[in-house]
């Protein structure tokens, strides 16, 4: 054991010596009379380097000193992190906040777009994923066309802290189940995935603990629910499955679609149906429809 520690210590000492030697060499080449410090580097040089880092890393380096802080504010650094359709997003999501300003720092734009921004009467929400700058979207149950939603014998909106919109649509019982949604937005080129967030059972808090009432859950194991999506640029996807995960929120993947052209409005139509009228269905909570960039969707669903 001691021999092992001795070898590690010698290795660490040799690495440190090598690092010191390299540092001395760099200082000598930069200036024979004085050491070159980080503060001596031109801000534009620092900006060019940190441009290749992700936003959280840039923000950490901005805390080093004034030179790195100033370099981190450069517009071209943050413009490289923004999606290609960021001007559309500023007009769509931030218009009321910035309509009187001629110049908006790109870092401020990035920061504001990373926050959840509601639109279409507060029924939809968009934000940038902080690390990648990819656009994410959520659509509330109140933005969907739901068969029988106006009849309290079938559906009710119930409050809950488990939804980002603080409200979900709860189905008590119905024969014909159909939910339809639509979204039209300018999206940056890339691949996107669409999910329905559903739960069998009605959750509540009792004595500080989460409990889920499953009394009205029925009919979902007899026939599969079918999911569909189509886009105005020609992409289609569909899937089906039996809903059998009781008491937990589940993201059911409908499918993927691709946006090839920038600066083009894309209309997305999607639906969930179970219209076999031989039996009733009930006990389902419908929360949100999510649209995530495919490459990071698994990471976002786990967060």
Residues 39-94 have pLDDT tens digits of: 667 888 888 999 999 999 999 999 988 889 999 999 999 999 999 999 899 989 88
Q: Which helix (H) or strand (E) holds 159?
A: strand 155-159
251: nearest Cα among 282, 201, 211, 287: 287
Cβ of 131: how many Cβ atoms within 10 Å? 14
Separation CA 194–CA 160 (nearest Å): 23
As a dihedral over the C-alpha atoms of residue 293, residue 198, residue 273, residue 171, rounded to 10 degrees, the angle is: -150
Residues 277-289 have pLDDT tens digits of: 899 999 999 999 9
Residues 215-228 have pLDDT tens digits of: 999 999 999 999 99
What's residue 8's pLDDT? 30
Is the pLDDT at 133 greater than 70, yes or no? yes
3-state secondary structure of 193: strand
| Residue with the two structure tokens 């106006």 | 150
Q: Which residue has the higher pLDDT, 15 or 237?
A: 237
What's residue 97's pLDDT? 52
What's residue 98's pLDDT? 53
What are the structure tokens assigned to 246, written together?
């009781």
CB–CB of 54/132 below 8 Å? Answer: yes
CB–CB of 150/260 below 8 Å? Answer: no
Quick one: pLDDT band at residue 301, thresholds 50, 70, 90?
confident
Q: Which residue has the higher pLDDT, 205 or 237?
A: 237
Residues 137-160 have pLDDT tens digits of: 999 999 999 999 999 999 999 999
Per DSSP, the chain holds a count of helices (H) and strands (E) of 9, 15
What's residue 12's pLDDT? 35
Structure pTM? 0.83
Separation CA 223–CA 243 (nearest Å): 9
Q: Are strands 236-241 and 249-259 parallel, antiparallel or unpaired?
A: unpaired
Alpha-carbon torsion (51, 56, 59, 23), positive or negative: negative
169: nearest Cα among 123, 222, 112: 123
Average pLDDT, the chain: 86
What's residue 44's pLDDT? 86
**What percent of the chain shows pLDDT beyond 90?**
72
| Mean pLDDT computed over 26-38 | 49
Kindly give the residue spans of alpha helices, DSSP state H, lying in 191-294. none
Separation CA 119–CA 24 (nearest Å): 57
As a dihedral over the C-alpha atoms of residue 161, residue 133, residue 44, residue 27, rounded to 10 degrees, the angle is: 80
Quick one: pLDDT band at residue 237, thresholds 50, 70, 90?
very high
């Amino acid at each position: 054991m001691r021999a092992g520690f001795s070898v590690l210590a010698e290795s660490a000492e040799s690495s440190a010596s090598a690092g010191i030697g390299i540092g001395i060499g760099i200082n000598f080449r930069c200036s024979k009379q004085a050491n070159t410090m980080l503060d001596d580097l031109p801000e534009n040089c620092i900006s060019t380097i940190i441009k290749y880092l992700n936003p959280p890393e840039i923000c950490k380096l901005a805390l080093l000193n004034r030179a790195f802080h100033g370099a981190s504010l450069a517009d071209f650094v943050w413009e490289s992190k923004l999606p290609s359709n960021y001007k559309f997003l500023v007009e769509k999501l931030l218009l009321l906040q910035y309509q009187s300003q001629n110049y908006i720092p790109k870092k401020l734009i990035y920061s504001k777009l990373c926050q959840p921004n509601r639109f279409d009467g507060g029924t939809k929400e968009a934000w940038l994923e902080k690390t990648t700058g990819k656009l994410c979207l959520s659509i509330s149950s109140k933005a969907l066309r739901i068969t029988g939603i106006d009849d309290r014998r079938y559906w009710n909106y119930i409050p809950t802290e488990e939804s980002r919109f603080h409200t979900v649509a709860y189905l008590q019982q119905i024969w014909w189940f159909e939910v339809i949604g639509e979204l039209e937005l300018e999206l940056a080129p890339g691949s996107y995935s669409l999910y329905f967030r559903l739960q069998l059972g009605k959750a509540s808090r009792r004595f500080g603990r989460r409990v889920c009432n499953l009394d009205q859950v029925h009919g979902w194991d007899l026939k599969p629910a079918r999911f569909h999506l189509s886009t105005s640029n020609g992409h289609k996807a569909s899937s089906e499955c039996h809903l059998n995960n009781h008491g937990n929120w589940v993201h059911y993947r409908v499918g993927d679609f691709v946006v090839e052209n920038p600066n083009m409005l894309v209309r997305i139509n999607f639906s969930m149906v179970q219209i076999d009228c031989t039996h009733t269905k009930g006990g389902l909570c419908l929360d949100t429809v999510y649209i995530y960039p495919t490459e990071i969707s698994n990471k976002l669903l786990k967060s």
